[in-house]
Amino acid sequence: MATSNNRTAEQVRLDIEAERDRLAASVDDLRDGVGSMASLKGKLPAATAAAFGVGFVVAGGVGATMRLLMRRGREGKTKAKFGPFSLVDRD
């Protein structure tokens, strides 16, 4: 018996079986991927901290922090201060 697109019932059965096999292979691949993600889950906090540290260093955070902390001793003597502004004597 032929269907409307000129395929026999046997051809349709073979297509369905082939699709079933492809779906089974895809499900197996997905299960393998989920298993590998579970093993990475425990390492996520360490990886996040490392990525944050690398980003901080690349962005110049260490230099900026040291400049902020150490500049008070190099600036000289403050004569007057008004809010965030200050008059410094740098002999």
Residue 33 pLDDT = 77
> pTM surpassing 0.75?
no
Is 34 in the same domain as 50?
Answer: no
| Residue 34 pLDDT > 90 | no
Buried b (16+ CB within 10 A) or exposed e, 32-66: eeeeeeeeeeeeeeeeeeeeeeeeeeeeeeeeeee
Residue 3 pLDDT = 52
Torsion angle defined by CA atoms of residues 6, 9, 10 and 15, in that order, rounded to the nearest 10 degrees: 80
Q: What domain range includes position 86?
A: 46-91
In this prediction, residues 1-25 reach a mean pLDDT of 84
Residue 79 pLDDT = 77
Number of domains in the chain: 2
Q: Quote the distance between the C-alpha of residue 13 and its chain's center.
A: 45
In this prediction, residues 63-74 reach a mean pLDDT of 70
Beta-bridged to residue 89, according to DSSP, are 77
Is 71 in the same domain as 90?
Answer: yes
Query: What percent of the chain stands above pLDDT 90?
Result: 18
